[in-house]
Amino acid sequence: MNLAENRIVKALAKLSDEKRKGLLPYVTAGLPDLATTERILAALGDLGVTAVELGFPYSDSIADGPTIQSSFTRVLDRGIHVRDILAMVERFRRRHELPILAMLSYSIVYRVGLDRFIADAKAAGIDGFILPDVSFEEAPDIAARVNDAGLCLPMLVSPASPPERRRQIAALSTGFVYYMSVTGITGERNALPPDLPANVRELRSIARRPVVVGFGISTADHVRLVCSVADGAIIGSALVRRIMEAQDGGATADGIVQTAADAVREWMKGLN
């Protein structure tokens, strides 16, 4: 499969052609259950999001803040496994073309085996991976094998990354470059760093591919600020929190799906 045919690549190219920006929400797979996750994905696709990051729960994640870690605990306590998540994606893919990026620890991939995991994920309908705990030194071989399968591997650039390292990461990334608005872990924040616009402009000038910003984005105003300089925004913890609050409040599956859709609809106002 040619990378040009990848759903992520095509979706971002379409945004560029139409001079629009994108929203890429993050959803924890299996929260509150896989059937509801599948319905949330369908609802977000109907809203017109660019793609969804699908988080694979892991007991020892390193980049995820307390909200997403809490969601992981809930899912893992229910005994949901990688194979169950991929089976859900495969069911979803029979009816929907929404691009899906799997965000997960490389420990999961390593345990399964890189080539087998790539093959299984591709067969299920995954379009790429975000592997936040892969070192830059390990990344070239992993990226080559992911890309050979026609899947994307966006890589993370930290505000603390030196200029030369940013160039190297951008050159290795496929699909887009993932710029972290802050150094550290994911989570909602009241304000984004003042140097974010300048850092994103600099990264876009050297990346030669779309730049999408995540970490700390939680309001339509944040999305508006980010998308004034970047190609898209990622919202994770704020969406996961609302899903868990709806679950804790006794909402039905219909109510949880509606809660997720309402939140994303509000954030999408920042794209206008």
Question: What is the set of active-site residues?
Answer: 53, 64
Token reading at 243:
């899903």
Q: What is the distance between the alpha carbons of residues 222 and 224, in angstroms, rounded to a whole number? A: 5
Which of these, 196, 173, 172, lies nearest to 183 by C-alpha position?
196
- Cα 58 from chain centre: 15
Q: What is the distance between the alpha carbons of residues 75 and 53, in angstroms, rounded to a whole number? A: 16
Pairing of strands 100-103, 177-180: unpaired
Token reading at 74:
């809930």
Q: Going by C-beta distance under 8 Å and a sequence separation of 6 or more, which residues neighbour residue 66?
A: 187
Q: Going by C-beta distance under 8 Å and a sequence separation of 6 or more, which residues neighbour residue 223?
A: 23, 217, 233, 235, 267, 268, 269, 270, 271
Which of these, 209, 134, 202, lies nearest to 164 by C-alpha position?
202
Return the residue matching tokens 């936040």.
132
